[in-house]
Chains A and B, each alone.
Chain A
């Protein structure tokens, strides 16, 4: 148990912070209930996928600046394909968009490996490219989403045999998030590939000398990042019903949550659970600020300050660790 706590100390602390925040929320707004939790889960969804996308590449020792732009592109693609189309057509759209994210992510990795330009420059250039592509797909916010997709994240999960009061605290959005992340992450974590991703993040040279295919692993890490970003884009379309070609504030949020979640920016350390809990923490802070009747624009400033502070703190820790 103590071993578990030591290894998962950071995540445990985050969970404690989350619970404290929930209690604070309940104190600020005694009426905070299951419905509000449901909307929190829905609000977290795109952020959580953005963070998952960032986490994979950061663990592999890189960084992906194109996450938000990738989400915008996949979102507008999904929205413009589904606009006016039949409900069944969406069954084809979803895998298509996911595959698109995977391929574009792989392209990121391929460019980094082939051109040997640092990841930060390649993904910055890709940010421009993907943003442009999103504007080409859809010039202004618009498009549509299939009803069953929208229904997938609204409401709660009906579990037979469970009283309604508990049932109400299980929003569908949370289930979608957990299922989507687990489907990719758990097999990955248990496979040789997952180990390779941690290995190249920890020390590329050591990994190379131990026979890890560094280039291939890096490409796959970026491809997985693209896949998660595509899920995030779909989540955006699902929750808003449209697609918007302008990337949201997901890039900075994803980096902040990764740092807060205990994933070292140098790579090789951490897991997916920490960053996901961190997203909930960051979003809940926002909810609390809103409940305190603070002007939404001021909320945005405070949120930005928190994220910058978190990133500064993370960089400081990394610097200390290196010395």
Chain B
């Protein structure tokens, strides 16, 4: 009969699920997020309310921006581990310089190390071809050293958090965190850049096939340098936002965000090998991690266990994506 020819052979459920996840990675992510929120609600009935949502978003935003740095660098097959140090530096410099300087001057001073570190990262990765991981780790060590030296020069002047940053970081207007004012345009810009502009296309192209990209006339080092400077500047902005949220300048302010930012980008479906992924998934990944952190805190899981969990997430998700790509 011809009916066998018309109806396609039944595909095993597992394969279909994999195909589905590969085609629409956002849907399973949103489902996962909802499941986590439901678990939270079951464990602590009544916790999920308007205030909790605003709070979660507030804490997810710095993570999401840093994860955006990871997303963009990962698209080219790289990674940026210096984001934590850069964010800390700009936050610390802002908080200490604003005591004696005009806020605008303090802002420019705060963004200077970010641009510089991004430039060094870009040259190291793009021109000298150091592995991004090693390169950014090195610049972050140097940055931390510089910050320690800097700290002693300003120890007398003290620090304060500019009111504007505190308003942006912690304030809530009509139930919406003010940080969204910064984040929504920023996220839109990143998504637009990645999907619609030449620079975004170049990032995907470099990550997908670097050799082919170079042979077709792209100046590899220029793309990479621009990328790492962008990533560093974003990290610097995150630092300013984060200091407004945490309100306690310290030398390890944003360091705890580095591992989760990598994990958020990986969960969001960006391939650590380059060429695949996008920012929308990363944002949901950051939300998932923030909710997960709340969940782990409620379960009284210690910091160590949390790090182990993040490590395992990165490993398993990467392995899973590798399988999906191979099956095609």
Contacts and interface: CB of A to CB of B under 8 A. Distances in A.
Contacts of A263: none
A255 interface: yes
Interface in B168-227: none
A304 B142 contact: yes
B128 A136 contact: no
Interface string A94-123: 000000000000000001000111101110
Given A125-B312, A308-B135, A308-B138, 14 more contacts: A115-B318, A117-B319, A125-B311, A126-B311, A128-B310, A135-B307, A139-B302, A255-B134, A297-B152, A298-B145, A301-B145, A301-B146, A308-B142, A315-B128
Given A115-B319, A252-B141, A308-B139, A132 B149 contact: no
A100 B142 CA distance: 32
B145 A252 contact: no
Contacts of A297: 145, 148-149, 152
A312 interface: yes
B243 interface: no
A106 to B, nearest CB: 16
Interface in A116-161: 116-118, 120-122, 124-129, 131-137, 139
Interface in B273-307: 273, 302-307
B27 interface: no
Contacts of A125: 311-312, 314-315, 318
Interface residues of A, number: 46
A67 interface: no
A127 B311 contact: yes
A311 interface: yes
Nearest to A129: B311
The main secondary structure of chain A at its interface with chain B is helix
B130 A121 contact: no
Nearest to A302: B145
Interface of A: 63, 65, 111, 115-118, 120-122, 124-129, 131-137, 139, 245, 249, 251-252, 255, 265, 295, 297-298, 300-301, 304-305, 307-308, 311-313, 315-316, 318-319
A136 to B, nearest CB: 4
Contacts of B244: none
Contacts of B120: 308
Contacts of B84: none
Q: Of A111, A120, A311, A312, which is in contact with the most chain B CB atoms at under 10 Å from its CB?
A: A312
B315 A312 contact: no
A134 B315 contact: no
A251 B131 CA distance: 14
A129 B304 CA distance: 8
B149 A252 contact: no
B137 interface: yes
B124 interface: yes
B324 interface: no
Nearest to A137: B304
Given A124-B133, A316-B129, A311 B138 contact: yes
A214 to B, nearest CB: 18
A117 B152 CA distance: 44
Contacts of B146: 301
A312 B133 contact: no
B265 to A, nearest CB: 12
B272 interface: yes
Contacts of A132: 303-311
Contacts of B302: 135-136, 139
5 contacts: A117-B319, A117-B322, A128-B314, A132-B308, A312-B135
Nearest to B81: A124
Contacts of A315: 128-131
A316 to B, nearest CB: 5
A300 B137 contact: no
B308 A133 contact: yes
B259 interface: yes
